Amino acid sequence: MKSFFVRRNTLVLTAVVLILAIFAWAGWANWEYRKQAAERLLAGAGQGELVPAPGSGTPQYVSPLSSKPAPAFALEDLTGKKVALASYRGKAVLINFWATWCAPCRLETPWLIELRNKYAAQGFEILGVDTEGDDLQKSDTAGWAKDKAAVGKFVTEMKVPYPMVVDGDSISRDYGGLDDLPASFFVDRKGIVVAAQVGLTSESEIEGNIKKALNQ
């Protein structure tokens, strides 16, 4: 009779330990899964998506910043002077993220210049934001000098009339990650993002969004 109780207790104890081990493992696995899911969610946060445009069915970029205030920033221009987005309050602004190595960015620049000159008198301005994406460290003075020289060369060659700032990478997260360039955000006079574009579109599409920002 005694050995029966010992055997039974051993069996029960083994079963309890086994079950507790399974619980512990399941708990750890669930925690790991939730952590990875949270990381994925965080990585995807703020990224736009392509949705069919009303009527046409053509995919259209929808930024999570749409109808929200444009994230504030103050970046250095080519002379080292800080240029703040806030200083453009009261104007419609096109924030154009681009990079020197980006051929489609270069292709749209003449359109931007033409449209900027066309609508400047109505209170429109473009802010070019150089976004090289090459993880330059703040201490890498030679790297920044090279970057600024490349941007300066482009600005001179293209006769870019609007302000150009560098280190767009430092604000890219606020603007949805900017995995693809060019990327443009159209901000109205109150500082609200009314439209966004990613990739090379067309001059007429850019002009349509400028008119939205100007509330025309």
- Given a contact cutoff of 8 angstroms between Cβ atoms, the answer to whether 75 and 148 are in contact is no
Sign of CA dihedral 150, 162, 117, 71: positive
Tokens representing residue 165 in the block = 């700032």
- Please tell me the count of residues contacting another protein according to CB under 8 A: 41
- Closest to another protein by CB, 65 or 102: 102
Report d(CA 199, CA 15) in Å as an integer. Answer: 60
Choosing from 9, 10, 13, 22, the residue that interacts with another protein (CB under 8 A) is 22
3-state secondary structure of 188: coil
Site string for another protein, 33-52 (x = CB under 8 A): xx-xx--x---x--x-----
Report d(CA 178, CA 131) in Å as an integer. Answer: 9
- Closest to another protein by CB, 99 or 210: 99
Site string for another protein, 74-113 (x = CB under 8 A): -------------------------xxxxxxxxx------
- Closest to another protein by CB, 107 or 145: 107
Query: What residues between 166 and 195 interact with another protein by CB under 8 A?
Result: 179-182
- Given a contact cutoff of 8 angstroms between Cβ atoms, the answer to whether 95 and 102 are in contact is no
| Catalytic residue status for 105 | yes
Give me the active site residues, please: 102, 105
